[in-house]
Structure 1
């Protein structure tokens, strides 16, 4: 069990509430299509109001060298230009939305519904939509300032040259962005690009929330005291998406208590069911109802649920996405074992990174080095079982898929650092061997050879793949 000191600065210590909330909020904003386009539209409105005002101030005061590069037509020409820009940009925006929705539908049906969040968080899509919408709104806003001369006021006409020229430049930028967007979309729907993006996001989350493993990590557990501790029940249903470590530690220290969070990040939670336990630090100490209710309320506030899992603190979410791609590729309707193999390769890369980090339950300590909070976290056997179980069951008829799983286990076996990790790999190897008998002699012989290579890698021996196969 990993322990963390409250003053220690590492990847998974008691992160400040402000930083934790900021990361979760940033993840929520990043995974939605509307925030960036909405901000761009607001800026476009301000620019559409401000630039014509600047035009009015600088009218007839611009140097000739500058003025000749600005729009030189009259009011009617300016209206035609701005109207054409607005009409064409709203059409292109509709096309972009349509292509994005088609891509989301493809990702959902072909790969996994869990990947929709990844597509929605695509910065290129968000910026392209923001540019198109802001150009459209900007052109409409500037259009209202264009005026013709009248008979009663011959000098009342106004053509915002700088503003119209800016609209032209935004249109050129939009055309370039459309070409780049189409190229990006083609790359994004490739399964290799999807898997790499999920892998990179998962490893980034692991680097942020999991410290590197060390030989000095505390492996002692916290005994559950007798009589049974006070139970903290969930107040809402959903997925546990955020744990405020500092708030938990502060609450436990204030009540002179110990708190055990029994659900890891990403776990489904049902309102009214236990999610945590708390008990006095001092043996046989008695609590009144007010202390218990206050502590339970503080724990409730520190454990936040949502309708879907996110990558802000959930390391297992990325592996769930990758495994879903593997399982979907093995379904009879798709039958794409090559994609399944690619997905297993991505899972291997993530698990290899997690081998170097501290997994399993971890504890938070006060300044006197007393354990105050214990938080559940998936162990390496849990994550390996997540990756192996469904591909093993659904890919049992395909020796290529079984060979890919064996290859993954071999690579992980070579990089293991603890007995727990080696035992987990050995257990998965035993489960795979049960499916070898379902194949013909040639395939069975190759699978047995690959299984022996996994066993050898666990013993720090590496045999060439074609040796004795």
Structure 2
């Protein structure tokens, strides 16, 4: 694995030290205000620099008494003013179009796929870049208009916004190119295959960042000396600042064991850390270590991708939608994810300090947890859809070949329960035999 080293079936797993700002970076990616705000500030700085260049250019020409050149520049500025005014009004129209397309896409995704996939649109880079450049162009155009002067005598003019006008035109060209890319990207995000692929790729990134090992016996961590409770607001445990927690535990010579899993809902007073082998770190040392929000994120949540894929399949199998092909597409990625993590130990992450000493133990879903999350709910709704049952049986058979012998029990259980559900649901023997025939395409 690229982000960790597995030394044995039950051996220690060394994980790359996380970057300090990784939780902050992930949180900012879940917002729509940060990128446009940076763009507006950058637009102001760019306008200020361009205005200084224009002022310096006019000053040099006045010192050289280049009256004709100043007169020509002044005429160009008058023509440019009309163009800049048009740009300012047009950019507001473009911004309205971008917002309209985004809202329609989010509404369709929430209604047809799952409310939990809306975050893919919020985190879309092309959406944020397009909105940022549009707002920056609009603000730059407004600030450029303030640079135009009404003096008729070129020798009295202090600033001719020539550089500002050229930059405004370049920003408009960039905006048009981004608008084309934005429309193309948004149309792709409306396709269920692309959405499922994005969720799967995010899930694989989490799996690569979280090589895991079996939950160790607490005796290896030392006796439990204290517990640290959550004092913030109630919400979903989104992530843990691993570097801060490891540093706080190292200073006390202790080991911290995270009690809830990422994705659990915690309330004030809930124990979040158990301290082993040393005194508990102070509250100040653990400040901002635990992040709680209103919804789960992919950052450290190994099961969140399966949750989203399962939700999409359940929505597709509902009587209101009745789209088993979409459920099969979701099952394809669920089987793919389970196959990718099947050979590796699961249960807990061991995070170490620079000397290789374990300082933080973080629980993650076990193999039965992941199998149940990916298959249970779909299996309960799939009995009446032979396309889905055939694909699920083929997927389980593939996993039985790939998974170690000690991990086949959950798969065998789901296969038996699926066969029982089909026998109860389908009265005709021929239809039952057809529904229980494994097929990787469901019904090709």
Q: Secondary structure at the match of 1:149?
A: coil
- Partner residue, 2:377: 390
Alignment of 1:271 with 2:300, yes or no, is no
- The TM-score normalised by the length of structure 1 is 0.79
Partners of 1:146 and 1:415 in 2: CA distance: 71
- Partner residue, 2:167: 166
Tell which deviates more after alignment, 348-357 or 86-95: 348-357
Partners of 2:55 and 2:357 in 1: CA distance: 69
Q: Check the 8 A contact 1:75/1:148 in 2, yes or no.
A: no
The 3 A distance-change label for structure 1 pair 355 and 295 is farther
Alignment of 1:89 with 2:91, yes or no, is yes
- Partner residue, 1:57: 56
1:400 to 372, 375, 387: 387
The 3 A distance-change label for structure 1 pair 307 and 420 is farther
Partners of 1:402 and 1:29 in 2: CA distance: 41
Partners of 2:73 and 2:319 in 1: CA distance: 61
Partners of 2:86 and 2:196 in 1: CA distance: 41
Q: Check the 8 A contact 1:3/1:365 in 2, yes or no.
A: no
- Partner residue, 2:420: 434
Alignment of 1:182 with 2:170, yes or no, is no
2:257 to 245, 253, 260: 260
Alignment deviations for residues 303-329 of structure 1 (CA, whole Å, 9 cap, x no partner): 332222111111211111111111111
2:322 to 324, 335, 340: 335
Alignment deviations for residues 316-375 of structure 1 (CA, whole Å, 9 cap, x no partner): 111111111111111222221111111111212222222243321244578998866543
Partners of 2:228 and 2:158 in 1: CA distance: 71
Question: How many pairs does the alignment contain?
Answer: 421
The 3 A distance-change label for structure 1 pair 302 and 374 is same
Alignment of 1:415 with 2:409, yes or no, is no
Map 1:4-15; keep pairs closer than 5 Å: 4=12, 8=14, 10-11=15-16, 15=17
Partners of 2:132 and 2:190 in 1: CA distance: 21
1:221 to 217, 221, 232: 217
Shift, 1:404, TM fit = 2.0
Partners of 2:241 and 2:159 in 1: CA distance: 57
Partners of 2:210 and 2:193 in 1: CA distance: 26
Partners of 1:35 and 1:253 in 2: CA distance: 34
Shift, 1:273, TM fit = 3.0
- The TM-score normalised by the length of structure 2 is 0.83
Partners of 1:173 and 1:370 in 2: CA distance: 51
Q: Secondary structure at the match of 1:435?
A: helix
Alignment of 1:240 with 2:237, yes or no, is yes
Q: Secondary structure at the match of 2:274?
A: strand
- Partner residue, 1:326: 313
Q: Check the 8 A contact 1:262/1:276 in 2, yes or no.
A: yes
- Partner residue, 1:122: 124
Shift, 1:155, TM fit = 4.0
- Partner residue, 1:33: 32
Partners of 2:284 and 2:156 in 1: CA distance: 70
The 3 A distance-change label for structure 1 pair 147 and 295 is closer
The 3 A distance-change label for structure 1 pair 172 and 225 is closer
Partners of 2:103 and 2:167 in 1: CA distance: 30
The 3 A distance-change label for structure 1 pair 144 and 242 is same
- Partner residue, 1:355: 342
Partners of 1:52 and 1:278 in 2: CA distance: 59
Alignment deviations for residues 382-414 of structure 1 (CA, whole Å, 9 cap, x no partner): 011001111112222212122222222122222
Q: Check the 8 A contact 1:205/1:312 in 2, yes or no.
A: yes
Tell which deviates more after alignment, 171-180 or 310-319: 171-180
Q: Check the 8 A contact 2:211/2:349 in 1, yes or no.
A: no
Partners of 1:178 and 1:168 in 2: CA distance: 15
The 3 A distance-change label for structure 1 pair 218 and 171 is closer
Q: Secondary structure at the match of 2:296?
A: coil
Q: Check the 8 A contact 2:223/2:276 in 1, yes or no.
A: no
- Partner residue, 1:424: 410
Partners of 2:76 and 2:250 in 1: CA distance: 73
- Partner residue, 2:363: 376
Shift, 1:146, TM fit = 0.9
Flag structure 2 segments of 5+ consecutive residues without an equivalent. 1-8, 62-68
Flag structure 1 segments of 5+ consecutive residues without an equivalent. 62-66, 212-216, 282-290, 455-464
Partners of 1:393 and 1:253 in 2: CA distance: 47
Partners of 1:323 and 1:25 in 2: CA distance: 28
Partners of 1:71 and 1:100 in 2: CA distance: 42
